[in-house]
Structure 1
Amino acid sequence: MSETECWTFSGALARHAAERGDAAALRFGPRVTSFAEYDRHATQIANGLAAMGLTKGDRIAYLGKNSDYAVELCLGAARLGAVLVPIIWRLAPAEVEFILQDCGAKVLFIEEAFAGAPWDGASVTMESDFAVWRDGHSDDPVTAAITRDDAFLQLYTSGTTGKPKGVVLSNFNGSNMRPRLEAENIYWYCAAPGDSLIMAMPYGHIAGVGGATGAVLGGQELIIHAEFDPALMIRDVAEYQVKWLFLVPAALGIMLAHPAAEGADFSSVRGLTYGASPIPLDLLKEGVSRLGCDFAQLYGLTETYGAIISLAPDDHRPGREHVMRSAGKAMPGVEIRILDGDLKPLPPGATGEVAIRSDCVMLEYWNRPEETAKALIGDGWFRTGDAGMLDEDGYLFIQDRIKDMIISGGENVYPAEVESAVYGHPDVADIAVIGVPDPKWGEAVKAIIVLRPGSDLTEADVIAYARTRIAGFKCPKSVDFTDALPRNPSGKILRRELRAPYWEGLERQVN
């Protein structure tokens, strides 16, 4: 097997098409695509992009929900050596515009529902144009020379200073883990060829597009849901005998609470992996009881092509409650360090910043050399921005978020971004944003605001204003008003002091 077949997604698709071309690869509603068709479509898309003037390294953007066409677009771009930039469809127009300008996309593929996005370049509308455009191009072999180190994806994360950063990921970042998982029998994160997987997480997240590309590597049938729909999830698990599920804890709770879950057939499910936030113990017990399968936690970042640390199913058994608060242990090929303020390693039991060394770590932040240099500190090490502790047995316990990030329902929200949006209101004199515990979403965004004299601004007014400027999931769910915000002598908001009353009595400052 050549290196291209081993370590590039285009090569993996070609291999599965040759070995099991008639097997179902993609299923989206009534459309079913075999591996042979998937492979041919990828070549046609690559040739279509080339006909539009794109070459290796060019960026193409996608704005829309999950679909088989979106997944094909990723592999078509990969076959040409172009870089796909999937954009989270829930973002506000101004955020979409920033990403399109920042990445320098040569063409935008867009769902008709989002056709009003601010864009004046070349575009293809997915529902009405994509298949006609794709099938209008040749399936003659593409001659672009693709290597494992070539950029493959560019995903945007919320920025600590309010501007999203483009995380550039290579073929090897995404492909190197699977053979190691197979060798170490990490079965809960390494489905077998022919297994059915459901993709319901948003395509603009690593959990979405990463799940789609992982299915290419492993040769699984990918059942694609446009977005998370608990009733559809329950139905498809039974109809297609799905063995493996990935859900954020909030989505699992919603699925189990749905009326269709009563008496549903989950007998095919062998394992459920969850991530983006810890799982409440009561929800875990309910999930194990009702699904009757293994549970495993995954911890990772966009910058690490997803999961790099896992809490194994055996650590979810009775008697292992002492490690249930942890994120788990490093996966094969991953090293963890805890760093002090001078970036020196700390011993077990000490809390500091979590650093990762792995072949999964990104190439760079796009056009952000200073931020790249802060994150990639040499010798392969990446600073995660999470505060954590390693115990003597190698379990990682996440204690807090150094960058103040809020995780609400699996979505990353940075306070600076929300503060910047709300501060533009003429009645807002000062603002701080924090995450507070929420029983459904894990954490909820709360704004604490100092009003200008004479203002009668209400909580509803603040939330409505925020919705005009940022994505709905980033908007405050609640607002408190105060006379002044606590600050240190240099003027920095004392966010820990603001958070303390809401987190009192909880062991960790993450939920």
Structure 2
Amino acid sequence: MALQRVAAQLSETVGALGAMRRAGLVSFGKLGHAAVTAKAARAYGPLAGPIHAHAINGIDRVALIDDLGSLTYPELDQQSNALARAWQEAGFDDTSVIASICRNSRWFVLVGLASAKLGARLVLMNTGFAAPQLAAVAEREGVGVFVYDAEFAALAAALPATTTKYVAWVEDPTDDPSLEHLIAGQPTNPLPPPAKAGVATQLTSGTTGTPKGVPRAVVSPLASAQILDRIPLRTEQTMFAAAPVFHATGLGLMVMGFALRNTIVLTRRFEARDALRIIAENRCDTVIVIPTMLQRIVDLGPDVIAEYDTSALKVVFAAGSSISPDLSRKTSEYLGEVLYNLYGSTECAVVTVATPADLKRSPGTAGLAPVTCRVALYDDAGTKITERGTVGRIFAANGASFAGYTDGRDKERIDGLLSTGDLGHFDDNGMLFIEGRDDDMIVSGGENVYPIEIENLLADRTDVLDVCVIGVPDPEFGQRLRAFVVVAPGFEPDPQGLKDHVKAHLARYKVPRDVVFLDELPRNTTGKLLRRVLVEMNENP
């Protein structure tokens, strides 16, 4: 068994290095550059380390383009040095906890870089937080410094007066100093490395209560292979990070892009037509989206999309929620064979990746586990499920999984694997399919019903723009199905037609008893459907 483990680890290492070499992240012809990068990453962490190394190595390529213009790698490194020095003067160090609530711009990046160079802990707040959520998280995490875009001034006001506050993106004047003013005139030469690289704490979506803190202090040096093994990202490309970069998907891919010497394009607000313009004008090779963003682009239709030159696109990277078969097909038709769907979580990081070929062969799949990642299914008793087609709880492991929440709690672990909180099954080809959250399953008349099967079927109709199915109490069946539907433009609500469509394709017990039409479904800033809001609507009509 010991020899088998060693052989498996060796095979994984070789596979991971191969993926990193193909991407250009590891180049045996430039070992000097690689050594500088590795040393900087150890000293300053995965975000600040590569950017600092590129500046030292003389990479004068544009690192970032945002709504204010562009910055090269040396400029980005120098401005973050200036911010870190200003914070040093203010008395902040590796014991400080700095929180930010910023949209996608250079200021988000500079705060992350400066925090890392101080060795401080950075807490990334969700731009969709309400004041009570933000205040509760800030108190729990011990936040002493708070950086915010001016539009979030009301949230900043909810924090104690003892919190030091700075404004990142300035729109209207505030009482707090701006970062731009803070760094003016500061030295831009490098700082000595901190005793320990700073830690970034991401937050869960908070769909079931106060968001939990997910620190990631130790990451395997081979972790980048989890992305590069199945997604063809390459050096010196252009990456449009449309997804919020405070979220795990946006942040992780942006960090990867910087490591690959990419030019990262950011814009503070997403609009579907504007996204196409950005892709065309910057000749973007990669775009990072959450599925709702991709849906809005696809909903523009082929004629509008054809107005923009998207021929440079090689990768549309989507993560954060499931991709319906209909969205997968339309993306392929309108944008080409470019869609890569990542399934993972803030806690687990990468679990599986579906390539365009996977999605074409098995629409709706979450794909396969990439190199260094493991995924397995277990039943409620903790017994491993090996039968194909049998639904079970999804557990995963890789070199980037978290070690536990900041409040000391943890997720369930079995055989060294971490619970994702989702249910799924493997098909005959070994492809993973997600059934939904383990608490989303509906028991109606003694039958287990997984909403995603019904939702995908209805979403495939041209008259349905968005759909969610939940269970509501029923005196006879325990629960009955209720579908919430957003009708596509140009169509009229047709509740009986929707029921008949489900009846024609699925078992009778999967037909929604009720159909409710809404203007839009409740989603958070990262596109996750807020089913609990719909449940509460039923409880409080």
Alignment of 1:325-344 (within 5 A): 325-344=364-383
Q: Does 1:279 align with 2:352?
A: no
CA gap of 1:405–1:362, structure 2 versus 1, over 3 A, is: farther
Seen in structure 2, the aligned counterparts of structure 1 residues 440 and 360 have a Cα distance that, compared at 3 Å, is farther
1:431-470 correspondence to structure 2 within 5 Å = 437=455, 439-441=464-466, 443=468
Q: Which amino acid is 2:305 matched to? A: A
SS in 2 for 1:399: strand
Confirm or deny: 8 A CA contact 2:241 2:265 kept in the other structure.
yes
- The C-alpha deviation readout for 1:62-113, integer Å capped at 9, x for no partner, is 1132111111111221122222212111221111111211211110001111
Partners of 1:14 and 1:483 lie apart in 2 by 54
2:313 partner SS? coil
Q: Distance in 1 between matches of 2:363 and 2:370?
A: 17
Closer, same or farther: CA 159–343 of 1 in aligned 2, 3 Å: farther
Answer whether contact 2:61 2:73 (CA < 8 A) is retained. Answer: yes
Which residue does 1:54 correspond to in 2?
Answer: 92
Q: Cα deviations across residues 172-224 of structure 1 (Å, max 9, x unaligned)? A: 26x63224655x4x343xx2222111112123311232232222222211110
Where does residue 431 of structure 2 map in the other structure? 395
Aligned residue number for residue 86 of structure 1 = 124
Alignment partner of 1:178 out of 213, 224, 228: 224
Q: Provide the TM-score with structure 1 as the length reference.
A: 0.74
Aligned to 2:209: 162
Could you tell me whether the CA contact under 8 Å between 1:446 and 1:479 is conserved in 2?
Answer: no
Structure 1 counterpart of 2:359, from 302, 313, 316: 316
**Counterparts of 2:391 and 2:283 in 1: how far apart (Å)?**
43
Contact 1:17 1:39 in 2 (8 A): yes
Which 4+ residue blocks in structure 1 deviate beyond 6 angstroms? 444-449
Instruction: Pick the aligned partner of 1:345 from 384, 387, 391.
Output: 384
- What are the ranges of 5 or more consecutive residues in structure 1 without an aligned counterpart? 407-433, 450-462, 485-511
1:214 alignment partner in structure 2: 256
What secondary structure, in the 3-state scheme, does the structure 2 residue paired with 1:116 have?
helix
Written as runs of structure 1 = structure 2, the 5 A alignment for 1:46-445 is 46-56=84-94, 58-117=96-155, 118-119=158-159, 120=161, 121-128=163-170, 129-145=178-194, 152-159=199-206, 162-170=209-217, 172=219, 176-179=222-225, 181-182=227-228, 184=229, 186-188=230-232, 191-258=233-300, 260-305=304-349, 307-317=350-360, 320=361, 323-349=362-388, 350-367=390-407, 369=408, 371-372=409-410, 374-375=411-412, 377=413, 380-391=416-427, 393-404=429-440, 437=455, 439-441=464-466, 443=468
Assess if the C-alpha contact under 8 Å between 2:166 and 2:179 holds in 1. yes
Size of the aligned set, in residue pairs, is 425
| Cα distance change on mapping 1:70 and 1:16 into 2, 3 Å | same
User: Compared with structure 1, are the counterparts of its residues 400 and 258 closer, same or farther at alpha carbon in structure 2 (3 Å cutoff)?
Assistant: closer
Q: CA deviation at 1:258?
A: 3.2
Cα separation, 2, equivalents of 1:342 and 1:161: 24
Shift in alpha-carbon separation, 1:483–1:141, aligned structure 2, 3 A: closer
Paired residues of 1:200 and 1:224 also in contact (CA < 8 A):
yes
Q: AA paired with 1:354?
A: I
Q: Is the 8 A contact 2:214 2:406 kept in 1?
A: yes
Deviation (angstroms), 1:343: 2.7
Match of 1:476 in 2: 533
2:513 counterpart residue number: none
Is this contact kept in 2: 1:446–1:476, CA < 8 A?
no
**Alignment RMSD (CA, Å):** 3.5
Q: Distance in 1 between matches of 2:250 and 2:441?
A: 20
SS in 1 for 2:124: strand
**Percent identity of paired positions between Structure 1 and Structure 2:** 21
